[in-house]
Structure formats: structure tokens, C-alpha cells
């Protein structure tokens, strides 16, 4: 017996359907028996509707209805009716209606699920991920994935409308230098050789420009073998964009318009302006290259004043070439001893050795370090960070980068604990003029901050000849035509104008310490392509998962990825990564050895 094709989704039943016969298919959410009536909530992708099985009117289905259990899959035929006034449920979209069932077919039975398929079920994340299909069946979690689809479609429509062409690039490819570890795939046909999964389609999108496509985009998976954090995954999706003959302004304005479209799609009020600040300004004011500007607590540099005190902590850092920086937390002069100790814990992961605190309380300056700093200089330090009566001044003495990182972390700590972010506010801004290189003490050389294909600013190009192995070389001064888009303190996109000239590219490879042979071996195909007429080009990539997470107001990137991995890189549903059969390893000419053995 078959009831025929579905006529409606449960969640869409409305006034216009009154009196009509409908066929619905979906899951039993719950069943209530009330004497001669059985009520069943039927759930499908679009929502829930109440079914009524009446012993008097349809005795032929009444008995079977009594056997229905949660998550059974059923098909029903019935007539849409008004609920009586007392039975109406204003909290349900279909709460004024019910379907009086005349035919019922059980399409699949279900065992009792490990957790209730309900939005408010309290479930551990591990269990959710193990039974992800049940977790995704929960209406709110289902809605997140549907919302992701709409954001993706809006992106495609917008970019297609702007003349961008979606082009697929390979997954089995050569290593791309985005700064992370590659995932390698052994080649069976060429034993001992490996493909790398792309950390991004960077080189291919540039080659699409050489190929004359002019405007490229792709919603694409990228793979980076990194240690995971709350907002990272080993595989993630980028909105990847590249265009020929751009200026920085053209790319930034396109990216802003795309961001605005996505804000609108998500129903989030977009900020009116998208300011631009330089990397140097971001570090100076916020101690961070992706600042959350929704609250103040800006940083000040107080090295000169601090250097004039006899305080060993300050002196030591300054003599070692470091700085003293600080910030003011208004109204927090009453912070407890425990609260202050907690601040040292906040800065520890950033390499901070400690936080020096001074308070203006009851007309006096107080603080454990006051006796070392002295009353006068302490007042000057507090003035320099803008601390008035009732305020707390916090200072960190260290290298510039560490001091910035520590104070940046303290800003975020206070924003959270003092609830400084106005609800519903979103700040979008550009950070640009990034340094082209950063010094790696581990490798004793300069590394690319973005990637080695980023164009250095024209007026800084003479500095590219600096010594690649000297931390004080002119390479440290070179700025890149690179830009990041930051939303509420999260980097949601980043890109650059690319190097399209072989001579500049060679210089940059040289600055990164690659010999001509190494550059040829790694990126020869790109350098070769550049010999045949390369248009100036540039682009950007948005982290689609992260952006979706922020726009939907989720706490974890895993909430917006259909089948995510845990922070330790496991898929709890499939059990990957897993062992493979000896035969598969043999075919790949791979022999395993115990970790640590020779």
C-alpha cells in the first residue's frame, strides 16, 4: 500500500489548507494518548504539525497509531482542520491547525535514540558528534545547516552577478605554502611520492588569471594539518576569490559588498562603515592584528616614563630592547588580590611573565610595585594610560610583540568579564599594510607573513635586498599589499595583490632564503607561467565556516559544519582516522614503524 506523493511539508500547513486532504511524510516527534484520541506531532525539515487519530471517526487507523513511537518514519493522509480555541498553540507555526488522519503507513520503525531529538535536549558534544545524523535532525541544528546553504547560494549568486566564474581546482596537488603543515596522500603509481592536499587553491587561482579567466571564485575545501582550536578545523571551506587588473580598493569594496549581502541573508544588522586601519595602528591601539573595536580599553606605550623609574622589571625589559605598554580599566580600582592574580594567568599563554598593576583609589595610588616605582612616576604612568580616580592601570614590560599580545588578551578578558560589548553591535574593519616578512627565531630567517606571492609595496622594494639571515635586516621594514577583513575581533577574510612579475617573485624567494634551484623545484610551474604574459592580479579568501558561525551567533565552528571533527581531529561518527589493511599499505609501498623507533 502506498499513500502516494507528499503534498505538503508538515511545517508549512496553514490557513489556505483548511478542509483540504493532504499527504505528509516525516518523523514522529511524540505521541499523546487521550482516551479515544491519539495526538502525534509529525516533524519534517520545515517544521511540525499535529496529527489527530480519532477512534470514533477513523477506527481503522486508531489501533496502529497507538503503536507509534518517537522517530518512527510515517506517511499519513488526512484533512486539515482548525484546532479548538483551547487547543491552539501560539508557540508553534502550525499551532492553529491539525490534520485528522484517515490513512497511516509506517515506513520505518526506530529504536529509542541515544538522546531526544529535541532542541532543548541536554546532550554532550561527543554524543552529538557520534550520532551527528540525529543531532542534525534536531530542528535548530538542521536550521543552521540550511542557513549555511542560503549563505553559500547568496555568495554564488552575488559573485556570478559580478562576473566571477566558479572554477574547480584539484585536491591532489603540490604543497601550497600557507604556513601550515600539509596533509600528504601517497601515490600508488609512483611509490615514494606524495600529493599534498591544498592548504588553499592559491597557486591555481593565480594560474586562472594567467589563463585569462579574469575573475575566479570557488567555495572550496582547504586542508591544514594544524593543532585545532575552537574556531579551526583540519578541513574547512573558503570563499576563494581572485581577479585580474585590480587595485586594493577594488578588491576591498567587492569583499565589503559580499559581506553586506551575507549580513543581510543572515538577518544581522550590518555596520554602517568599514574603517581601514594599518597593521601598525592596530598593534599600537589594540595590541592585536585582528582587533575587536566594539569597546575601548586602548593601549598606550609608556617605555620612556617606565625607563625613568628604578623598577627592575621595567628596566630589565627595556635594556633587553623591549617596551613597557599599558592600558586603563575604568572603575576597576577595587579589583581583588585574587582578581589581580588571575590576570597573570590570562597573560601566561602569550608568554607574559606578569602584569604590573597600579590603582587610583580613595585619592591615593596603590599597588604592590608602588614602592619600587615611586609615587611620582606611578602617577605619570597612570596619567599616560588615562587612569583617573577609581581606575586600574595595567602594565606589561616585554618585547613589543609579547607586550602587545598580553595586553590584547587583557582587553578581551575585561570585555568579557565586564560585559563591555553592546549586544547586537557588529564591527567590521580592514587591517592592511601588513609587514611582508616576520622573523623566525627557530629557523633564524625571515618568513612570509601572508604567503610568498604577496606583492611588496612599490616604494619598499629596494629593501628586498636585505640579508635574509639577519633579524635587523631591511626586510623587516617591507610592507605588503595585503589586507585582512576583521569582524568583531575575528579574521574572516584575508588576501593580497600578488606578484605578477618573475623578477620581483625571484627577489622575494631570495629574501625567504630559497636558492634559485629550490624556488624552481617548488614553484617552477608558477615562475614558468609568469614568463608568458601575466596580468596584474589579486584576491581574497573568506573563511566561510567562521563567517557563518559568527553570523548565526554560534559559539563553535562545529555547529555550522555538517560533519565536523573534534578538537583532537577525530570524526566520532565514522571513527576516522583509522587503521587500514596491510594490503592497502603494501600497494602504497608503505611500511609502518612504531613512533619513535628508527
123, exposed or middle or buried, with CB in 10 Å at 0-12, 13-18, 19+? Answer: middle
Cα gap 7→5, rounded to integer Å: 6
Q: Could you say whether residue 452 binds ligand ASP (CB under 6 A)? A: no
Which residue, chain included where needed, has cell 566558479? Answer: 166
With contact defined as beta carbons under 8 Å apart, do 406 and 396 qualify? Answer: yes
Residues 182, 180: Cα–Cα separation, whole Å: 6
The residue (of 118 and 178) whose beta carbon lies closer to ligand ASP is: 178
Residue with cell 596584474: 536
Grid-cell match 553592546, residue found:
422
- Least distance from ligand ASP to the Cβ atom of residue 549, Å: 17
Structural contact between residues 139 and 43, judged by C-beta atoms closer than 8 angstroms: yes
Q: How far is the CB of 238 from ligand ASP (least distance, A)?
A: 6
Per rule CB under 6 A, is residue 246 in the interface with ligand ASP? no
Grid coordinates belonging to 304: 620612556
254 contributes a contact to ligand ASP by CB under 6 A: no
How far lies 437's CA from each of 182, 464, 480, 485, 490, in Å?
Answer: 21, 10, 8, 19, 22
User: Is position 210 an interface residue for ligand ASP (rule: CB under 6 A)?
Assistant: no
37 DSSP 8-state letter? E
288 belongs to the binding site for ligand ASP (CB under 6 A): no
Helix (H, G, I), strand (E, B) or coil at 301: strand
- The size of the interface with ligand ASP (CB under 6 A), counted in residues, is 9
In degrees rounded to 5, what are phi and psi of residue 221?
-75, 140
Find the shortest distance in angstroms from Cβ 511 to ligand ASP. 18
Residue closer to ligand ASP, measured from CB, 352 or 538: 538
Positions 400 through 429 that interact with ligand ASP (CB under 6 A): none
Grid coordinates of 553: 551567533
Q: Check residue 541 for interaction with ligand ASP (CB under 6 A).
A: yes
Q: Which residues touch 26 (CB under 8 Å, ≥6 apart)?
A: 10, 42, 43, 44, 73, 74
- 81 vs 178, which CB is nearer to ligand ASP? 178
Among 540, 550, 551, 557, contact with ligand ASP (rule: CB under 6 A): 540
Residue 178 interacting with ligand ASP (CB under 6 A): yes
Query: Cβ contacts of residue 347 below 8 Å, gap of 6+?
Result: 354, 355, 396, 406, 409, 410
The C-alpha cell 597600579 sits at 358
Mark the segment that binds ligand ASP (CB under 6 A) among 45-53, 180-188, 394-402, 493-501. Answer: 493-501
Q: What does the DSSP assignment read for 427-446?
A: -EEEEE--BSEEEETTTTEE
The Cα–Cα gap between 353 and 357 comes to 13
Name, in order, each residue with C-beta under 8 angstroms of 495's C-beta and a sequence gap of 6 or more. Answer: 241, 251, 255, 482, 483, 538, 539, 540, 541
Choose between 142 and 200: whose C-beta lies nearer to ligand ASP: 200
Shortest CB 527 distance to ligand ASP, Å: 18
Stretch that binds ligand ASP, among 151-159, 211-219, 268-276, 490-498 (CB under 6 A): 490-498
Applying CB under 6 A, which part among 112-120, 418-426, 489-497, 518-526 lies near ligand ASP? 489-497
Q: Does 209 bind ligand ASP (CB under 6 A)?
A: no
In sequence order, which ranges of 124-217 are alpha helices (DSSP H)? 125-130, 132-137, 139-161, 202-210
Q: Which is nearer to ligand ASP, 140 or 525 (CB)?
A: 525
User: Which H or E element spans position 33?
Assistant: strand 21-34
For ligand ASP, the closer CB: 205 or 445: 205
Binding region for ligand ASP (CB under 6 A) out of 109-117, 396-404, 472-480, 539-547: 539-547
* Closer residue to ligand ASP, CB minimum distance, 302 or 540: 540
Residue (29 or 498) nearer to ligand ASP, CB: 498
| Contact status: 539 vs ligand ASP (CB under 6 A) | yes
Interacting residue with ligand ASP among 50, 169, 200, 332 (CB under 6 A): 200
Return the number of the residue (46 or 242) whose C-beta is nearest ligand ASP.
242
Exactly one of 198, 466, 494, 564 binds ligand ASP (CB under 6 A); that residue is 494
Q: Which is nearer to ligand ASP, 253 or 444 (CB)?
A: 253
Distance CA 98, CA 54 (A): 12
> Which of 169, 175, 202, 473 is the binder for ligand ASP (CB under 6 A)?
202
Q: Which is nearer to ligand ASP, 428 or 499 (CB)?
A: 499
Is position 478 an interface residue for ligand ASP (rule: CB under 6 A)?
Answer: no
> Minimum distance from CB of 453 to ligand ASP (Å)?
8
Shortest spacing between CB 473 and ligand ASP, in angstroms = 25
Binding residue (CB under 6 A) for ligand ASP from 495, 508, 526, 530: 495
C-alpha span between 152 and 156 (Å, rounded)? 6
Site for ligand ASP, rule CB under 6 A = 178, 200, 202, 494-496, 539-541
Amino acid at each position: 500500500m502506498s499513500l502516494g506523493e507528499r503534498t505538503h511539508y508538515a511545517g508549512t500547513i496553514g490557513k489556505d489548507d483548511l478542509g483540504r486532504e493532504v499527504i505528509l511524510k516525516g518523523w514522529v516527534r511524540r505521541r499523546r494518548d487521550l482516551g479515544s484520541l491519539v495526538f502525534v506531532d509529525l516533524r519534517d525539515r520545515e517544521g511540525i504539525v499535529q496529527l489527530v487519530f480519532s477512534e470514533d471517526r477513523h477506527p481503522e487507523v486508531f489501533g496502529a497509531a497507538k503503536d507509534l513511537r518517537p522517530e518512527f518514519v510515517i506517511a499519513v493522509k488526512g484533512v486539515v482542520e482548525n484546532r479548538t480555541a483551547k487547543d491552539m498553540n501560539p508557540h508553534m507555526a502550525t499551532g492553529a491547525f491539525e490534520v485528522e488522519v484517515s490513512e497511516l503507513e509506517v515506513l520505518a520503525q526506530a529504536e529509542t535514540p541515544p538522546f531526544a531529538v529535541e532542541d532543548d535536549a541536554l546532550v554532550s558534544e561527543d554524543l552529538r558528534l557520534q550520532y551527528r545524523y540525529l543531532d542534525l535532525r534536531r530542528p535548530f541544528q538542521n536550521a543552521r545547516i540550511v542557513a549555511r546553504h542560503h549563505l553559500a547560494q547568496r555568495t554564488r549568486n552575488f559573485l556570478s552577478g559580478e562576473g566571477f566564474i566558479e572554477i574547480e581546482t584539484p585536491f591532489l596537488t603540490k604543497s601550497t605554502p600557507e604556513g601550515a603543515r600539509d596533509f600528504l596522500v601517497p601515490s600508488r603509481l609512483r611509490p615514494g611520492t606524495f600529493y599534498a592536499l591544498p592548504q588553499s587553491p592559491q597557486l591555481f587561482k593565480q594560474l586562472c588569471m594567467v589563463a585569462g579567466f579574469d575573475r575566479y571564485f570557488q567555495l572550496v575545501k582547504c586542508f591544514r594539518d594544524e593543532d585545532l582550536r575552537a574556531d579551526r578545523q583540519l578541513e574547512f571551506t573558503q570563499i576563494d576569490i581572485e581577479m585580474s587588473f585590480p587595485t586594493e580598493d577594488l578588491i576591498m569594496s567587492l569583499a565589503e559588498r559580499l559581506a553586506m549581502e551575507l549580513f543581510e541573508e543572515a538577518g544581522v544588522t550590518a555596520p554602517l562603515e568599514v574603517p581601514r586601519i594599518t597593521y601598525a595602528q592596530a598593534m599600537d591601539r589594540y595590541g592585536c592584528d585582528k582587533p575587536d573595536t566594539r569597546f575601548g580599553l586602548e593601549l598606550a606605550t609608556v617605555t620612556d616614563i617606565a625607563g625613568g623609574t628604578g623598577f627592575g622589571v621595567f628596566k630589565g625589559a627595556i635594556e633587553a630592547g623591549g617596551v613597557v605598554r599599558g592600558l586603563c580599566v575604568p572603575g576597576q580600582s577595587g579589583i581583588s588580590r585574587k582578581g589581580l592574580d588571575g590576570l597573570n594567568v590570562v597573560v601566561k599563554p602569550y608568554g607574559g611573565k606578569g602584569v604590573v598593576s597600579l590603582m587610583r583609589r580613595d585619592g591615593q595610588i596603590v599597588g604592590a610595585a608602588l614602592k619600587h616605582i615611586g609615587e611620582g612616576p606611578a602617577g605619570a604612568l597612570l596619567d599616560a594610560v588615562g587612569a583617573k580616580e577609581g581606575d586600574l592601570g595595567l602594565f606589561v614590560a616585554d618585547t613589543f610583540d609579547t607586550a602587545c599580545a598580553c595586553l590584547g588578551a587583557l582587553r578581551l578578558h575585561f570585555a568579557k568579564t565586564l560585559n563591555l560589548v553592546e549586544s547586537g553591535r557588529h564591527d567590521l574593519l580592514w587591517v592592511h599594510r601588513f609587514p611582508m616578512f616576520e622573523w623566525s627565531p627557530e629557523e633564524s630567517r625571515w618568513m612570509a607573513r601572508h604567503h610568498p606571492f604577496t606583492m611588496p609595496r612599490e616604494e619598499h622594494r629596494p629593501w628586498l635586498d636585505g640579508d635574509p639571515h639577519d633579524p635587523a635586516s631591511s626586510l623587516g621594514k617591507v610592507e605588503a599589499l595585503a589586507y585582512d577583513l576583521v569582524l568583531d575581533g575575528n579574521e574572516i577574510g584575508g588576501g593580497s595583490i600578488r606578484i605578477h612579475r618573475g623578477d620581483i617573485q625571484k627577489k622575494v624567494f631570495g629574501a625567504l632564503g630559497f636558492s634559485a634551484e629550490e624556488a624552481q623545484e617548488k614553484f617552477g610551474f608558477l615562475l614558468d607561467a609568469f614568463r608568458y604574459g601575466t596580468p596584474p592580479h589579486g584576491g581574497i579568501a573568506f573563511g566561510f565556516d567562521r563567517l557563518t558561525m559568527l553570523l548565526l551567533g554560534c559559539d563553535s565552528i562545529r555547529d555550522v559544519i555538517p560533519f565536523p571533527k573534534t578538537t583532537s581531529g577525530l570524526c566520532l561518527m565514522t571513527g576516522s582516522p583509522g587503521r587500514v589493511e596491510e594490503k592497502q599499505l603494501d600497494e602504497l609501498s608503505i611500511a609502518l614503524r612504531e613512533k619513535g623507533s628508527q
